[in-house]
């Protein structure tokens, strides 16, 4: 592991091992230091995602935590991304804290909590507008998509948000 990220990730991992994670969030794997997978479920009876579990993958670059990690919901045989107006069917997430609102003070667990509350506040299972078009031409790394956030800065995820209409 390289310069910036090593010690910080080791510290986060040690904290998770000693203090545990919030309810509904489980660290599934951190086999390699730079790619972790968390399982996320939404608590309570109110939620439209009752009984569902999602896998959130984070890839940490060597500039973490200065740079935001690459965060996607896994879309494979075992796990499917949640039906949500900010989550594309390939697992890409449009959330400003994963873009211009990222702060190095945040960490892996904080990202999980944000995702959990993003799901908890959703009332309608649907894909974002233009999902099919986006998924067809999307780069594999969602950080390469130039997202537009029609912001509600307070939660970093609410209100509409979308990839640009054309990519060069």
Q: Which residues are catalytic?
A: 94
Calpha distance 82→75 (Å, rounded) = 10
Give the residue among 120, 109, 131, 104 at the shortest CA–CA distance from 157: 120
Please, which of residues 21-50 interact with another protein by CB under 8 A?
Answer: 34
Residue 15 has which token pair? 């904290």
Distant-in-sequence, close-in-space partners of 12: CB < 8 Å, separation ≥ 6: 107, 108, 109
Among residues 12 and 128, whose Cβ is nearest to another protein? 12
Among residues 43 and 63, whose Cβ is nearest to another protein? 63
Do residues 55 and 74 make contact, with C-beta atoms less than 8 angstroms apart?
Answer: yes
Among residues 108 and 119, whose Cβ is nearest to another protein? 108
- If one counts every other C-beta atom within 10 angstroms of the C-beta of residue 77, the result is 6
**Segment interacting with another protein (CB under 8 A) among 20-28, 74-82, 102-110, 119-127:** 102-110
20, 22, 104, 130: residue in contact with another protein (rule CB under 8 A): 104
103 near another protein (CB under 8 A): yes
Do residues 57 and 111 make contact, with C-beta atoms less than 8 angstroms apart?
Answer: no
Q: List the strands of the sheet with 70-73, edge to edge.
A: 25-32, 35-40, 54-59, 70-73
Among residues 63 and 127, whose Cβ is nearest to another protein? 63
Please, which of residues 108-137 interact with another protein by CB under 8 A?
Answer: none
Work out how close the CB of 119 gets to another protein at its nearest, in angstroms, rounded to a whole number: 25
Please, which of residues 64-83 interact with another protein by CB under 8 A?
Answer: 65-66
User: Which residues of the shown chain bind another protein in the complex (CB under 8 A)?
Assistant: 1-4, 6-8, 10-11, 34, 62-63, 65-66, 103-105, 146, 168
């Amino acid at each position: 592991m390289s310069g910036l990220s090593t010690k910080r990730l080791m510290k986060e991992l040690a904290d998770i091992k000693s203090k545990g994670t919030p309810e509904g969030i489980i660290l599934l794997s951190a086999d390699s230091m730079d790619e972790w997978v968390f399982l996320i479920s939404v608590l309570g009876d109110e939620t439209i995602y009752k009984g569902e579990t999602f896998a959130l993958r984070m890839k940490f670059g060597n500039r973490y935590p200065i740079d935001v990690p690459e965060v996607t919901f896994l879309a494979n045989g075992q796990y499917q991304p949640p039906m949500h107006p900010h989550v594309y069917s390939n697992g890409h997430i449009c959330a400003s804290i994963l873009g211009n609102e990222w702060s190095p003070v945040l960490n892996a667990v904080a990202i999980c909590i944000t995702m959990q509350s993003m799901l908890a506040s959703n009332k309608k299972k649907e894909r974002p507008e233009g999902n099919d078009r986006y998924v067809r031409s999307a780069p594999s790394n969602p950080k390469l998509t130039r997202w537009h956030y029609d912001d509600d800065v307070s939660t970093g995820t609410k209100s509409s948000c979308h990839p640009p209409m054309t990519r060069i």
